[in-house]
Every structure is written in C-alpha cells, then in structure tokens.
Structure 1
Amino acid sequence: MVDKYADTPTSSIVVDNPWERLSAFTDARIGLGRAGISLPTSKLLAFQLAHAQAQDAVHCPLDVEALTAELSEALGLTTPPIHLHSQAQDRAMYLQRPDYGRRLNDESRERLQQTVAPQQRVDLAVVVVDGLSALAVQQNSAPFLRKLHEALNSDAADWQLAPLTIVEQGRVAIGDEIGALLNADAVLVMIGERPGLSSPDSLGLYMTWAPEPGLRDDRRNCISNVRPAGLAVEEAARRFFLLLKEARQRKLSGVQLKDRSEDNVLEGDSASGSTRNFLVAE
C-alpha cells in the first residue's frame, strides 16, 4: 500500500477548521476539524471525558460535613448550618420524582418549625441545595457567600438573616417552603445546575420574594453559571445584592423585576454624569 503522506512527513491526517482559533474565547465545541469523515481522536476523547464529568456531577453526593465546616469557617458562623433533607430518600428517587425534591420530609419540617419563633421575621433566608450538581455547590458556595456577606455587612441598611440551611436531594422550589417556615421576606436558593458538557460545576442563584409553597417559577429571579469559568463570584454577589435591595423596596420578584445590568440605560443626571440603571420594575 502506498502511503500518500510519505512525501509530506509534516502533513497531518487531521483537516483543520479555520474556526478553531475562536475556541480560545469559548468553551463551546467549534472548529473541531476532521479526520476523513470523523472527528479527530483527541476531540472525541475530550467529548467523552466531558460527558463522563457531567454524569459524575449528577450522581456525586454532596459532602455535607465538609461543606458545613467550610461555610462555618468562611462566614464565621457561631452555629453550624442546619442540615435538611427533601422527601426524595435517595438519588434514584430524586431523579425519577422531581416533585419529591420540592418539599421537605417530616423530620426536616419539624426541625425548622422549632428553629424560629412564629413572630420573628428575617429579611433573607439562604438555602444551599445540592441540586443536579453537588460539585458546583461544593466548590462555589463558600466563595459566593463570603462576597455576599461582605456586601450585606457594608450596606447602611440592617439585614437580618435566617439560620443558614443545607438541603440534600432538593430542587429549587424547596426554598419556598424553607423560607416560609423561617419567616423570611426573601429566600435565596443556591443550587447546582444541570451539568452541561463544558460546565459540570455551574451554580445557580434563585431569589423569591414572599416565599410560600406552591409558587410558580415566574415569581423567581435567576442568576446562573456562577463558576470560575463563567460568572465570577464577585460579580454574582454584586448583581444579587442589588437585585435583593430592589426586591425589598418594591416587595416583589420574578418577571415583574427585570435585570437591566447589561443594558445601556441612563437614569438621571449628576455632577459626574449619568448613572446606569441596574433594575427596572415593570
């Protein structure tokens, strides 16, 4: 058999794609090139690795003990976070019955009922939930909450926080029940998002004003893709804090509260020029 590449030893059997240079600016799989009619072996192996990492993120359990210690140290907590569990007994049930992940089991509900006096109100309840990626929660919760606490402590307003809670086998809506039981005006659910093939460690932030069981998703505001390769924790904390302040002022959240942080909307005049409007309520 004649080797057609013998006279050009520097040639490669992989046909490069001119779009490949754009991969330096995105995690998306573009410009992969080809070998004949197939993907190059290195690109195929990278895809299989990413797929395996996404599967691992879904099935990997949350190390509650390690997370409790990390959060306590990062935030200087005098009492450790409260450990709760949804009605989904295990991961298999959690994946098959999403409704079970939206409500607390009886033991966790009773524990919260004994935590806060009925007449005591708090401004914010923070709920850390494993969701579909415990990896995201394990890696990003403490750095984000450290920045958020700095913003709350530096604000002129007095922010009363409910005891921090950690939930296993939970969905976003479980924060509604927890927020209601803790008598919170607003609830922040920090949850591991469904892993993508390039983002197994993405943390989502969901804020709801006046939480109560049975709310629809249009009552929530979401900030997603909080991770080192996505939205930095500093920027995520800044956006959430401004969102929270606006929600408290207007007593609402969800589709009526629009995030305009990326819009070039000018509001008012000042000596130094116009300022950007972060939120617009409709």
Structure 2
Amino acid sequence: MAEHETTRDGQRPERTVYALTDSGRDELLARDITVQHGKRLVAAHDTGAGVRAEFDDGSEAFGDLLIGCDGVHSTVRRLIDPTAPAPSYAGLINTGGYASGVSVDTEPGSYEMIFGKRAFFGYLKADDGQVWWFSNVPRRDEPARGELAAVSGEEWRRRMLELYAEDAGPAVSLIEATPEIMPMTAIHSIPHLPRWHNDRMIVVGDAAHAPSPSSGQGASLSIEDGVPSACGTCPPRKRRSPSSLPNAVPGSSASSRPPPASTTTRRPARSAGCSATPSCR
C-alpha cells in the first residue's frame, strides 16, 4: 500500500491510495525492486550508455531504458516528442468511491459494468466485501479548469443519485453508502500517437493510447504493451543491457502497436448517452 498527496487547482490536498495485489507486492519484494514516491519527472537525456532521468527535487536516476507508464498527461510522451498530440476531451466526467455494508451479486475480483439510461457505472467487489465503484457522466463541453473541483462531493452525490434512480443494479445503494465521493475529473483520451518511442524511452498504457474507462480496455492495452516490453528487455534467466530500444523490444515499430484507443473510446462515449439534463451538461 502506498499513499501520496496531490493538490487540485490550489484546493486542499487530495489523499490518493494505491493498493497492489498480494501477488504483485510479493513479486516486487522477491525481486528487491525499489519503489519511490513523491518524485516528479521533469527531464530525461540519452547519455549514449543509457538514460538519465531528472526530477523536480533535483535528484537523478540512471538506467538502460526509461519506460513511461505515467498516464494520459504523460511527461515521458512529451520528452519523446514535444509535438505529440495533446489528450483530447472524451465527452465524459468521472468520479468514484468505496462503499461498505452493501450486498452486491458478484464474486470478489469480478468487475461489473452497467450502461445506464443516463450514465455509465462500474463496480468491483474486494475480498473483504468492500465495493470499489466509478461513474462516467456524459458532458458535451469540456469543463473549465477548476470548475469540477468547485462542486462539493455532496452535490455530486445528489446529481448521481438522480442519474441512476431509474437503473437496475446497485449504483444508488453504493453511492448512498460511500462516505466521501472522490473528486470529479474530466476524462481525456489519446486516440492516436504517431511517435511513441525513441532509442532510450518508450510510453505504454494510457500514456500511449488512453481509452475511455467505459470500454474496460485500459488494463488490457497496458498489459499488451508491458508484456512484450518486459520480455524484450529482461529475457528469462539472463538480463541484458540493450543498446537501444528497437533492439530491446521485439517488433518495436508502429506496426506492432496494439489497436489504437480510438475504437474503444468513441463507442463508450456514445453508449453512455445523455439527455439534455442539468446533471449532464
């Protein structure tokens, strides 16, 4: 378990918690892999023998490759190509939360997704019975900076209860049982990225092709990126230091990329249809 704090437009810090599965955590410990928090990448340079990463606290790190799995607003993507297309607004805003004491008809670890009449809803039951959920609410115009943060969690709760009132499923019960609604954020996507690597740096997952959460394909695309990258740089039983990324990652060319996010973004955005109600605008 790891925690860090971030700020949103000068508002109070938001506490973010990341949980690793038991197997993932155990594998990190077994491989003596160090995880550091509270660092923000600001620059990276090809040294000829490797790559030097620079952070905003003045520290540096050195390695053979720099793999950017740093999300839709990726710093590594901009370092690879300063002219890379900016993320585009997907027509959805997103929030979520954690609820306890609500019975849901699903097995632990099974993700359930519901296309409601006016908004999309997804939830996952954890082993301890707690339910993690998220909501995608259609909105045609992109929110202005700070606009979503200015709306209180209780107001978002009221709006979402109205949106899901006529839908089957546990959405209403889960929203009511959630102590604190997470901050609402605008969803952005990366439908096409012409340049996703150079000799020493590569982006994977949402940093390369972020689909809508409604598609359920974010993790799948990340795995499709991560597995061949890992196999290319660290073959079983023998680690090697690649001289360049194209030599390290098998098929490291534009033609080898997983399907672009465009097809997994458009359909969910349309399917979570929205009538012209104040909750959706």
TM-score, L = length of structure 2: 0.28
Higher relative contact order (CA 8 A, sep 6+): 2
TM-score, L = length of structure 1: 0.28
Larger Rg: 1
Where is the helix percentage greater, Structure 1 or Structure 2?
1
Where is the strand percentage greater, Structure 1 or Structure 2?
2
